[in-house]
Amino acid sequence: MGWSFLDVETPFGLAHRGGRGAAPENTIAAFARAAELGYAHLETDVHRTADGELVAFHDGDLGRVAERRGRIADLTWAELCEIDLGDGHHIPRLVDLLDAFPDARFNIDPKADDAVEPLVEVLRSHDAVGRVCIGAFSERRVARVREALGPGLCTSPGPTGVGRVLLAAVTGRELRAPYGCVQIPPRLGPVSLSSAWLIRRLQAMGLQVHYWTVNDRAEMVRLLDAGADAIISDEIELLAEVLAERGATPGR
Catalytic residue numbers, as ranges: 16, 58
Before 11, cis peptide (omega within 30)? yes
Yes or no: say if 50 and 74 are a contact pair by the CB < 8 Å rule.
yes
Continuous segment of H or E residues that includes residue 181 = strand 181-184
Closest Cα to residue 93, out of 67, 124, 115, 64?
115
Q: Assign 75 to helix, strand or coil.
A: coil
Task: Give dist(CA 67, CA 239) in Å, integer.
Answer: 29
> d(Cα 99, Cα 60) in Å, to the nearest integer?
24
Closest CA to 182 of 167, 172, 173, 152: 167
